[in-house]
Structure 1
Amino acid sequence: MRIAIVTDAWEPQVNGVVRTLKSIRAVLERQGHSIEVVSPDRFYSLPCPTYPEIRLAMATTGAVGSILEDFGPDAIHLATEGPVCVAARRWCLRHGYPFTTAYHTQFPDYVSARSGVPAEWIWRYIRWFHAPARAVLASTASIRRTLEGHGLVQVRHWGRGVNLSRFHPAVTPHPELARLSGPVQLYVGRVAIEKNLEAFLRTRQPGTRVVVGDGPARAELEARYPDAVFLGARFGDELAACYAAADVFVFPSRTDTFGLVMIEALACGTPVAAYPVTGPVDVLTPETGAMDEDLDAAIAAALTRDRGACAAYGRTFTWEASAAQFHAALVPIHRTAVAA
């Protein structure tokens, strides 16, 4: 099958959307599918206001449509709600081609946190963008209910996975973390306001708080919380070693739709502490983590969980299963329509 994935999030960005799309592409290509990624790096772009690390592509309908026409897809998926996907959406509707979309990010909450704009204003745009899609892919039951509550009823489940050859309980703990005073409490992700990272840095549990990741809030938080250890971004085997060295993984976000980092930590045997919100409530079990509106209480409880149970549960999340769900949700374009 020839599958076009259109996205406004791609390398060099480091986030869950990019990691998910790259993982799905790898599985589908191993299965013999041909994947064309239409991403911002193929167009002139400008830095996103308040978030310059993210580039907004100046993609026209004609330019995006030309790429899609040349590829001749059997199915089209629009991964994000940004300008590249808006151009592709317009092109698909103009030609009568079906497409699927995905709700990866609590975009209304993110924009509201950064700009002060009411989230409901942004939901008007979200409804407009996704309404024509044959299916809107969502990672959890909570997100499905949220989308349905906003009038988007064509929701299909699309779970997430873990690279189990990299993230597993036999990983050697990272030496930098192994030398720290325990219990080692780890955060992995972007260092940005919408991740609610300061809630973690304000906790009072004994031990050492470690932040792995980078982002626009890092310099300020590093200066305000000198007792925390900021390691910057870590990838691949080194990231797995950080998970393995932690006694607990802390997920303070209240706005993520899933949280890939949680299941990566679990696959390494590390229990998770989080707020009882979308993402954690859909992923964690009583045996593998703890959720509480008091994050200190959640951390203390998570430290009592069995690492073997965490690793066993983490192994149930695979990219192969995720890719199968993604592929099943695609809506084929008739060959005659593509050739027209």
Structure 2
Amino acid sequence: MSEQIALKDPLEAMEHFFMMGWTDGLPVVPPTPEKVEAMLNEAGLTGSEVIGRIAERNSVITAEKVAINAVMAGCLPAYMPVVMAAVQAVLDPAFGVHGPTVSTGGAAMLVIVNGPIIQQIGLNSGKNLMGTGHRANLTIGRAVRLVLQIAGAGAKFDQTTIGHPGKISFCIAEAEQEDWEPLHVQRGFQRTDSAVTVFASEGPNQIYNHVATNPEQLLLSFADRMTPFSTFNMQRNTQCVVVVCPEHLATIQRYGWDKTRVQQFLFEQARRPRADLEKFGFPVESALGDKDWITVAPSPEDILLVAGGGPAGSFSSYIPGWASMDQSVAITKPITTAAACGDT
């Protein structure tokens, strides 16, 4: 359990946290016992419960540590179940959190939220999806990163060469529709469930096409953006995320295409000739795929397709993944509130 420190006021507390290296470079909210307890109550947990471990660092993450960092990030108690589920996901051994958080590749923890919790806590799935202005998105993503940096000793191990702003906070919600299967449903949950998917990601790449009149034209521009050899996706068996904006989604749905068909099309078209590797100095046998072609992901299902973004503007996004699937895979966990647990 954490020690308590007596400081005279919030400003002194913030400066103390800066001095101790307990921030991400931005001011934090002082985690008073009352605020921490409110977080734990919302998740129906006691502080001593173990949420997960990072074996490579001999780190044990308790519920109290998650709650402390959620307060510091600026979360409201209502956000705590999402933070907790996301932390459980990144601490799942299959996610391999040590790798992306120490790599020179500078991966961020992308948090994708689905289900009724989106409306319940006011998560943004629309305009400025990956940008500013939405407390829930920004503080939840920040809390996950603070947990890994501070409680998980991540600052000590981070060897990022350049990184990207998502390493501070990277949390989005899917714009769910009746005729578009949400990500968490594709990954085994019900529409009525709330769930979170975490993914070790590079920075987002904008896809612009405002002239395509059918899905084939539109998605070929997606495939073109998804296939630079300078990403892990074209050199290893790596997952990726594609966020489809409303205008692009309308073009796709006008022709009756569903998520599965879009994933299959992108899998078939987002590829490069294996022989092209030699132009960049890579051995032709270094990437996975068949003898002639290298695909952006090992299977259609490894292209994680999400709807979201503002109603105006034909700008979607491709988010490459980190390393290969034997090092890290996307993990989806259910979001459980205290009420769902039967707690008060």
Q: Indicate whether the TM-score tops 0.5.
A: no
The TM-score range, normalised by the shorter chain, is under 0.3
Please report the TM-score for the alignment, with normalisation by the length of structure 2: 0.27
Instruction: Select the structure with the greater relative contact order (CA < 8 A; seq sep ≥ 6).
Output: 2
Please report the TM-score for the alignment, with normalisation by the length of structure 1: 0.27
Higher helix share: 1
